[in-house]
Amino acid sequence: MILITGGAGYIGSHTVINFLEAGYDVVIFDSLENGHAETIESLKLIGNIHFIKGDLKNIQDIENVFKNYSIDTVVHFAGFIQVEESVKNPSKYYRNNIIGSLNLFDSMIKYNVKKIIFSSTCAIYGKPQYLPLDEKHPKNPINPYGRTKLMIEEILDDYDRAYGLKSIKLRYFNVAGADSQKRTGEWHEPETHIIPNILKSIIKKNKSFKIFGNDYNTPDGTCIRDYVNIEDMAEAHKLAYLFLKEKNKSDCFNIGTEKGYSVKEVFATAEKAAGTKVQLEIMPRREGDAEVLLSDSSKAEKILHWKAKKSLEDSINTALSWEKTLP
Ligand code: UDP
């Protein structure tokens, strides 16, 4: 069985669907602090899932999972992910992300579970020294969120050397879109991400969309990002699982599309998809935003045989259909 921590969250729930549709049995462990009970209910309709509500900060909660289920691999999503909040409240981030991960890894060692896929981020690279970013780029995260992810990667490497825990770290670029069948999608409270925020402005009509900074050194002055479709992203986890099963070897991979879109381009694509015009407001730059983030994902293509298939338009269309189902 595969244990998915944070399986009630955004990337976690799409990955659960991907594994279920490939015929695997899945155990979801989630505190539901940011994940949603409604998501668990819709996942139950798809396949054989076992849901355990628990907090990784309580080692007993997670040890019980290994005691009660025969787990062969863990996919670890559970963690806090908001950059701005991590700057204001680093204690919350270090306690949750680091201690939670340590409790998980120590329980795995205790119960002899030696394979894990970890959700990491391109935020571990910090300010780009060159583009596109490959896996060898220096790692200098610029906020506590990114630092927790880098520390966990390093802990995993130490645990491999000492205890033989094999890990695949997937370093995500910007994830976008929703399940094509609307069974799950992006649902954060509060929402800080660009695409859901544009769509909320489209749906609510009288709500303007705020662009954080139009004075960057890019062709239209707004930040450029690499938007990976969520279903492509979920597929990367299954391929990482198969790689780990076959090779039993630790590694790390960037997961991105290698194509960049500016904030204004994303906005224009969304307006076109919805067939609506939305009011724009130019705001000051948001603290901690990099000017351009763009992946070199050739390693994932070569070794995992993963490649992004879906376009930004695909992601915006599915995100729009999903957004309309939200309360
Ligand atoms: N952004 C924006 N308005 C919003 C949300 C985001 O202009 O309401 C910009 C943000 O400044 C960044 C890009 O969109 O340049 C992507 O931001 P997001 O929070 O979606 O992802 P991040 O790159 O921070 O992980």
Secondary structure E strands in 164-308: 166-172, 174-176, 209-212, 224-225, 227-229, 251-255, 261-262, 280-283
Per the structure, the complete domain to which residue 144 belongs is given by 2-175+227-255
Question: Same structural domain for residues 158 and 207?
Answer: no
Whole-number Å distance between alpha carbons of 83 and 72: 32
Question: Same structural domain for residues 125 and 249?
Answer: yes
Whole-number Å distance between alpha carbons of 326 and 190: 13
Whole-number Å distance between alpha carbons of 209 and 300: 34
Q: What string of pLDDT tens digits covers the 327 residues of the chain?
A: 999 999 999 999 999 999 999 999 999 999 999 999 999 999 999 999 999 999 999 999 999 999 999 999 999 999 999 988 999 999 999 999 999 999 999 999 999 999 999 999 999 999 999 999 999 999 999 999 999 999 999 999 999 999 999 999 999 999 999 999 999 999 998 889 999 999 999 998 778 999 999 999 999 999 999 999 999 999 999 999 999 999 999 999 999 999 999 999 999 999 999 999 999 999 999 987 899 999 999 999 999 999 999 999 999 999 999 999 987
Question: Same structural domain for residues 262 and 289?
Answer: yes
Q: Which atom of ligand 1 is nearest to the CA of 83?
A: 24
How many domains does one find in the chain? 2
Is 39 a domain residue? yes
Give kind and range of the element (H or E) at residue 242.
Answer: helix 230-247
Ligand 1 center from residue 112 Cα (angstroms): 40
- What's the pTM value of the predicted model, to 2 decimals? 0.97
State both tokens at 111: 């119960």
Is 182 a domain residue? no
Ligand 1 center from residue 48 Cα (angstroms): 36
**Residue 197 in contact with ligand 1 by CB distance below 6 A:** yes
**Which residue's CA is the nearest one to ligand 1's atom 10?**
212
Ligand 1 center from residue 327 Cα (angstroms): 23
Question: Same structural domain for residues 84 and 205?
Answer: no
Name the phi and psi angles at 72, rounded to 5: -105, -30
Is 183 a domain residue? no
CATH code, 285: 3.90.25.10
Ligand 1 center from residue 247 Cα (angstroms): 37
**Residue 223 in contact with ligand 1 by CB distance below 6 A:** yes
Which distant-in-sequence residues (6+ apart) come within 8 Å of 276 by Cβ? 202, 205
Question: Same structural domain for residues 156 and 272?
Answer: no
Question: Same structural domain for residues 198 and 238?
Answer: no
State both tokens at 22: 């490939």
CATH code, 88: 3.40.50.720
Nearest to 319 by CA among 203, 192, 177: 177
C-alpha torsion 148→4→18→299, nearest 10: 40
Name the phi and psi angles at 235, rounded to 5: -60, -35
Question: Same structural domain for residues 220 and 237?
Answer: no
Question: Same structural domain for residues 217 and 250?
Answer: no
Active site residue 145: yes
**Which residue's CA is the nearest one to ligand 1's atom 4?**
194
Question: Same structural domain for residues 284 and 238?
Answer: no
Whole-number Å distance between alpha carbons of 10 and 312: 17
State both tokens at 155: 């802990």
Is 300 a domain residue? yes
